[in-house]
Every structure is written in C-alpha cells, then in structure tokens.
Amino acid sequence: MAELQDKISKRFPDATFENGEILLINIADAQLHDLVKSLRDEHGFDYLVTIVGMDWTTSMGCIYYLTSTATRQLVSVKVQTADRDKPMLHSIADLYRIAGIFEREVYDFYGIVFIGNPDMRRLFLNIDWVGYPLRKDYDATPELNPVSIENERQSDSTYTWVEQADGTVEKKEVAVFTEEDFVVNIGPQHPATHGVLRFRTSVDGETIKKIDVYMGYIHRGVEKLCEDLSYMQTLHFMDRLDYFSAHNYHHGLCLCIEKAAGIEVPERARVIRVLMDELSRIASHCLFIGTFCMDLGATTMLFYTLRVREQILDIMEKTCGARMTFNYDCLGGVMADLDPDFVKDVKELLAVIPKNVKEYNKIFTGNVIAKNRMEGVGVLSREDAISYGVSGPSGRASGWACDVRKTHPYSGYEKIEFEQVVRTEGDSMARFKNRVDEILQSAHIIEQLIDNIPEGEWLAKVPKVLKLPVGHWFQLVEGCRGVFGVYIESDGGTKPYRLKLVTPSLTAAAVVDHITSGQKIADLITIGGSLDYIVPDMDR
Amino acid sequence: MREITTKSMPYDAWKDNEYIEKLVKELQDSGANVIVGSLDKLINWGRSNSIWPLTFATSCCGIEFVSLGAARFDMARFGWEVARSSPRQADFIMVAGTIVNRMAPVLRRLYDQLAEPKYVISCGSCAISGGPFRKSYHVARGIEDIVPVDVYVPGCPPRPEAMIYGIMQLSRKIKVERFFGGVNRQESRKQYLAEHPLEADNA
C-alpha cells in the first residue's frame, strides 16, 4: 500500500491520502479520470466494486471502491464538488463498463451529472420525479411526488453531457431507440423476469439488437430509510433485499457495524453465522434450479428442489422462528441459541443432499433439450465479467475466481476447507452447473462445522444505544448471488450518516444487454434466468 | 340463516363468521326469487371452487406464493393451481409484495385488464399499509387507493397457511355474491371506480 501511495503521489502531486483499513485517495475532479485509468492500467485495479454517492452538506461527491483481481487489494478514491445547484463530475464509464449504471444511480439519488457518460437518465425514479431523494435537504412531502395511477411518462431518448475543447459543458440528446427499431416490451409483469423487471427489447426478426433494462418497479428507498434508524434497526431491511441471502446480508451489515464499534463476536456465534449462511446458500441455489428449469419448461424440477428447500426452512424456523424474514444475526452475535434439534436435523439434511443433487443432474443437466438450450448461449468472457462486475456463481462461470470467502475471508472462512467452483465456458450451462456444484461445496462446509460448534455465549454484550465513532467503513461478504458490500459513514451519532449497499443483482441485470445482443429472443429467458438476479435486491 | 360451508373447514373454525353472516343477510334482504337464487348458487359454487390467480409478485411474499404452489402446501387441492401469466385469463390478483410509485399504474392496468368477475387479495404488510417501508419516499402506503381490495392477509411475509386461509375467505365471499341483478360488491365496486377515476393517458 505504501508503495502504491508513493507511485501515485509522484504522478499526481495534488492527491492526498488517508490511511485507514482501505487506502483512500483524495483527488480533484479534473484528474479523476487519469488517476482511475492509471490505477486500472498500471496497478491492476480492474474491478470497480461500487460508486458511493455522498452528500456532505458542504459538498457533494463520490467514493469509488476498486479492487485488483490479481492482488485482491482494495483502494478507494474520493472526489468532491462544492457546487450544489449543478454538481458535475467526470465520468469513468469508458474505463469500467458497469460504471455507467453506477453513475446513473448516483445521478438519480444526488443529481450529480457525469460528464461523458453516454446515458444520463434516472435509473429508479420517474422522469418527472421532483428532487433527489438521498440529498440531505430532500423535501419528502408526499404531495410533491404522489402515488399516481396515471401511466408514467416515458422517453425514447437520453442525454449526455459533452465537454468542449474550451472547457464548457454541453447537453446533447441521444436516441436510445431510433425510428426504425422494432421495440418489444417484456415485463414488468412477466413470469420469466423473476420479479418486476422490464426489458425494452429492440429486435431484428428473432435476433435481439439491444435491450434497455428498465428498473425501479420495486425501488423502496432502503438506503434513505436507514439514515433515520438506529444501527440495530437497520438490520431488518437486509432480510427484504435478497430474501434468499437474508442471513448472508445480515452477516455483512453486522460485520461492518461490529468492525466500526469494535465489538468482539463470540466464537459460537461466528460458527452459527457461517452455518446459517451456507444453509441459506443451499436453499437459494435449490430455488434457482427449480425456477430456472421451470422457465425452460421443466416444471417438475421445481417440486424436486423445493423439497430440499422446505427441509432447510424447517431447520431455520426451529431456530429463528420464521420461514423467510429471519432477522437472526444481530450486533454482537445471533439473536437466539440454536434449537436442540439443530444438529440432528442438519445431519438428516446432509444425508439427502448428495442423493438429490444426483437426481437433479440425472433429470435435467444431462438432458438433450437442456443442453441445446443452455450450452453456448449467452457467453460472457472473463474480461467482461470483471468489467461489468458480475460476481458470484455467474462470474465464476466465466473463469473469474471472485468468491469473497476466499479473496477477503471473514468469520473463520479462512480455516474452512472448500473449493471455489470455477468454470471457464461462461455460458448459461456453466452458470447453472456452478450453482449445482456449490450446493455440494456448501454441504461440505457444513459437514466440517456441524460437529465442532463451540460451546459458550452466542451474543456479546452490546450497549443499548450504539454510537459509532466518526469515520467510514467498508465490508464485503459473499451473498448467494455474489459480492455484497456495505459502506457505512458515521458522523458520531446513533444513526448512520450514509449506508450504501452494494448488491450483486444490479450488475447481473446491467450485463443482460451485453450478453443478449445478437442472440435469439427465446434465449433471453435462458440468459436472464441463468444470471439469477433478484429484483428487490437490484432496486433496493 | 344460510350457512356458507366449506368442505375443508368446519363453519365454527372460521374466525370471522359475523362478516359473512352480514353478507348473507344483505343477500337475503334484497329478496331473490327461487329460480334466480338457485342459479346464483350453482354459478357461485362453480366460481368459488376454481379461482385462478394471476402470476404477480413483486417481492418476498411472491416466494411464499411459489411455496404455496409446490408439493408441500399444494394449492391444487383447492382448485387455485392454474396460475395464469395473462390477466385476461385470471380471476384474482394476489398483490404479493410492496407496491411502489412506479409500479402503481402497472398494477391498476393489470386490474383493469382482468376479466369479470375479478377480485384482489392484499397479501403481506407492504401491500396492506406499506409495511416496514411505509416511511419511504417511493412506496405506496397500502394498495386501497389503487385497486379495491377483497381480502387482506397480514404477515411479513404471510405463511403459506395464512395465504390458504385468505384465499379460502375469498372463496367464501364469492359464495354469497349475487350474479343476477347486480347488488352486493358489484355495486360497491362501481362506486369505488367512480371515486378513483383513471385519468386519460398523456403518453
């Protein structure tokens, strides 16, 4: 890190540094593009984890989190602008393909315009939405933005801001679809979009030319809601983002707050958390297999896979008291001790999993129709997977070893022996097979832990009113669908000043346009299904 | 008084019989002749035993709805398993999940596209009141302002058993509906639609 700091300060003498858990580079907006370019090309930071939009009241800006897939180092870049009326920053959309979507999100929430971004529309909110909701001075009067049953105003064009040679910035209109395009609307109410996602698809005969992914049909403003709640109260939203990774997301937010507050989690709670994470991973992948096969016409698979899922939900229910929204991980450990039957039930589950997986493979994976529909369909190369930030089993199907449990281990994963399932084909079949194999890997992790759950406390003493010191923290965990990140900024109070959630489904949806172009429209269902995005997770 | 019976549950096991009894009384007070009354009964018997849901889910509740369709809870026992993807073929919408500002017009359009007779079940605390997201800037605080609701199923998310109870309640309500003559909820819905007009598209 010190070496990197030296090199950067030589190239960019104006940059200032803050050494925390992750090196933070302060840079002026004019040099941002050059700095990020040099970080990417010379220092190998090829993966943009997220762009955190910020409103510090005196200034507005962004924090970019970058990772190197080779060295696994994390670095952050901070850029600010004092102009609140017309905040403008330079875009890095040409360096990372996912940056375009991230910048649109920041524009939607904060109104910061990115010069050079080819598509500066709002991402989640309507065109005529009044105000920028995550700004601290946002006027939340419901009358300003009422719930209307009138159809939303839509446009086939977008805007881009271009910097001229003399330094002035000009707004230009760009067409998303032209007059000649034949646009088919898919969603938001469509059984194969797995929720309320909408694709505006322009087709040439049966071939897809371009897809405009339209999000926001379940944008619930979780990040803004969290700013008005105490740290303990923010936890329950994690159940309702990606409801299959409820435990994993809780785990991530708990780790981040515990890191900031310096809370030591008892060993028993750490093991319980890992056990629950892996159980929910199995349940999640089971449901993925079921619904994905159903999309492809194999309805029977849903009944086979839900059998295992119901067994896991029963185990969870005995301990957590709910089937879906568990709210089990809490600050300092877990809410309650394990049920006395837990070990017995899990062993029964472990006994049936290999048999079940064998059955899934026998029925579906080797099936000729399934092979024809999945092999070679929707190929995503490794470079594109990294550039788009498609993580989790989908990223690993493209040959990118991105499992956070291996790259940035937490809660004792470094001591557990398991394999990171990586395939290089990058097609829908590889994404499907990866998830089937991960069920076995998760079962393997549970096998190692189930007989070695340490005795003792499961919940550390945590002050009733928790205050975090001034500062910011970033934590990554592996959800069922990929990298889940939490960014917390505290002003020393009992509530987070800013809580940003980095979710894997957003990047998975953003890549749909790229991998479907040139494919047949019938394959859109296969590709979308194999990416396994969860819409509330994407919209937050 | 006429008892609204269901095969799968004894009458006394229902929690809110007063409500149904009130509907029965309303029906009887309005006075129907024997032939029309018997025809009504026959039609309602058919309708109440095959109500088809629209495949519509926005968030967590939708996953419990999937569980409801799978082997363990098996809604096929009651004749609800034919989940249709097109509103033209469905009988009711189970609004499973949060409805946000952008989704509200879509929900209304889906409701308008449903074929008569149509029903709405508001499923889960988000659809009922906004639930945990009530204070958000982009969430509808309950769906009553968007579509008329017949049955509310509380829970976050409701267990599949609760959903079964809710849809069975709907089936009981259908049994006291009057098909000929159009009183009862047909009238109340007309009034609702008059109070919540759909303004012209400005597209």
Q: Which of B60, B140, B199 sits opposite A150 (nearest CB)?
A: B199
Number of domains, chain A: 2
Residue A312 has a pLDDT of 92
Residues A129 and A38 in one domain: yes
* Interface predicted TM-score of the whole assembly (ipTM), two decimals: 0.85
Helix (H/G/I), strand (E/B), else coil: B202: coil
Decide if B104 and A148 are in contact by the 8 Å CB cutoff: yes
Decide if B105 and A307 are in contact by the 8 Å CB cutoff: no
Q: What does the alpha-carbon distance between residue A399 and residue A392 come to, in Å, rounded to a whole number? A: 11
Helix (H/G/I), strand (E/B), else coil: A485: strand
pLDDT digits (tens, 9 = 90+) for B90-133: 888 888 888 998 888 888 888 888 887 888 999 889 889 888 88
pLDDT digits (tens, 9 = 90+) for A102-138: 999 999 999 898 888 888 888 888 888 888 888 888 8
Q: What does the alpha-carbon distance between residue B101 and residue A261 come to, in Å, rounded to a whole number? A: 37
Decide if A302 and B58 are in contact by the 8 Å CB cutoff: no
Instruction: Show the CA angle centred on residue B147, arms to residues B146 and B150, nearest 5°.
Output: 145
Q: What does the alpha-carbon distance between residue A527 and residue A374 come to, in Å, rounded to a whole number? A: 8
Specify the range with the lowest mean pLDDT, choosing from A17-26, A398-407, B24-33, B165-174.
B24-33
Specify the range with the lowest mean pLDDT, choosing from A154-168, A281-295, A413-427, B187-201.
B187-201
pLDDT at residue B179 is higher than 70: no
Residue A184 within any structural domain of the chain? no
Residue A352 has a pLDDT of 92
Which of B107, B137, B192 to mutate against chain A (most A CBs within 10 Å)? B137
In chain B, which residues have their Cβ closer than 8 Å to the Cβ of A152? 102, 105
pLDDT at residue A201 is higher than 60: yes
Q: Which residue from A418, A419, A421, A373 is spatially nearest to A397, judged by alpha carbons? A: A421
* Helices and strands: H and E segment counts in chain B: 7, 4
B179 Ramachandran zone, left/alpha/beta (phi>0; psi -120 to 50):
alpha
Decide if A218 and B202 are in contact by the 8 Å CB cutoff: no
Estimate to the nearest angstrom the gap between the alpha carbon of A38 and the chain centroid. 26
The burial class, CB within 10 Å (0-12 / 13-18 / 19+), for A91 is buried
Residues A267 and A368 in one domain: yes
Amino acid at A63: I
H or E stretch covering A19: strand A16-19
Residue with tokens 């000929």: B180
Q: For residue A181, what are its two tokens? A: 């395009």
Cβ neighbour number for residue A221 with a 10 Å cutoff: 22
pLDDT digits (tens, 9 = 90+) for B181-199: 554 555 666 777 777 766 5
Nearest chain B CA: its distance from A198 CA (Å): 11
Nearest chain A CA: its distance from B30 CA (Å): 35
Out of A80, A114, A145, a domain closes at A145
Per-residue confidence at A285, pLDDT binned at 50, 70, 90? very high
Per-residue confidence at B180, pLDDT binned at 50, 70, 90? low
In chain B, which residues have their Cβ closer than 8 Å to the Cβ of A224? 136-137
H or E stretch covering A64: strand A60-67
Cis ω for the linkage preceding B87 (within 30 of 0): no
In chain A, which residues have their Cβ closer than 8 Å to the Cβ of B59? 195, 218, 240, 243, 535-536
Percent of chain A at pLDDT > 70 equals 100
Specify the range with the lowest mean pLDDT, choosing from A424-433, A530-539, B9-18, B46-55.
B9-18
Q: What does the alpha-carbon distance between residue A383 and residue A377 come to, in Å, rounded to a whole number? A: 18
Instruction: Show the CA angle centred on residue A292, arms to residues A286 and A296, nearest 5°.
Output: 140
In chain B, which residues have their Cβ closer than 8 Å to the Cβ of A306? 66-67, 70-72
Q: Which residue from A481, A432, A412, A450 is spatially nearest to A248, judged by alpha carbons? A: A481
H or E stretch covering B40: helix B34-48
Cβ neighbour number for residue A18 with a 10 Å cutoff: 13
User: Taking residues A523-528, what's their average pLDDT?
Assistant: 88
Q: Which residue from B86, B80, B85 is spatially nearest to B121, judged by alpha carbons? A: B80
pLDDT at residue A534 is higher than 80: yes
Phi, psi (5° rounding) for residue B123?
Answer: -115, 120
Residue A302 within any structural domain of the chain? yes
Q: Which of B58, B102, B203 sits opposite A195 (nearest CB)?
A: B58
Per-residue confidence at A452, pLDDT binned at 50, 70, 90? confident
What is the domain-level CATH number for residue A443? 1.10.645.10
In this prediction the pTM is 0.87
Indicate the average pLDDT of chain B.
81
Instruction: Show the CA angle centred on residue A284, arms to residues A281 and A290, nearest 5°.
Output: 140
Residue A155 within any structural domain of the chain? no
β-pairing verdict for B92-96 and B53-54: parallel
Residue A281 has a pLDDT of 92
B156 Ramachandran zone, left/alpha/beta (phi>0; psi -120 to 50):
beta
Decide if B71 and A148 are in contact by the 8 Å CB cutoff: no
Cβ neighbour number for residue B18 with a 10 Å cutoff: 9
Residue B61 has a pLDDT of 86
Residue B97 has a pLDDT of 86
Q: Which of B60, B101, B157 sits opposite A147 (nearest CB)?
A: B101
Q: Where are the domains of chain B?
A: 17-195
User: Taking residues A329-338, what's their average pLDDT?
Assistant: 87
User: Taking residues A283-311, what's their average pLDDT?
Assistant: 88
Residues A97 and A240 in one domain: no
pLDDT at residue B200 is higher than 50: no
Q: Which of A149, A219, A535 sits opposite B108 (nearest CB)?
A: A149
pLDDT at residue B177 is higher than 80: no
pLDDT at residue B203 is higher than 50: no
Residue A139 has a pLDDT of 83
Q: What does the alpha-carbon distance between residue A342 and residue A338 come to, in Å, rounded to a whole number? A: 6
Structural domain harbouring A24? 1-145
Out of A145, A165, A182, a domain closes at A145
In chain A, which residues have their Cβ closer than 8 Å to the Cβ of B71? 303, 306-307
Residue B199 has a pLDDT of 54
Residue A163 has a pLDDT of 83
Out of A91, A126, A145, a domain closes at A145
Q: What does the alpha-carbon distance between residue A504 and residue A512 come to, in Å, rounded to a whole number? A: 13
Domain B17-195, architecture per CATH: 3-Layer(aba) Sandwich (3.40)
Residues A133 and A260 in one domain: no
Residue A70 has a pLDDT of 85
In chain B, which residues have their Cβ closer than 8 Å to the Cβ of A124? 102, 138
Per-residue confidence at A484, pLDDT binned at 50, 70, 90? very high
What is the domain-level CATH number for residue A69? 3.30.460.80
Indicate the average pLDDT of chain A.
87
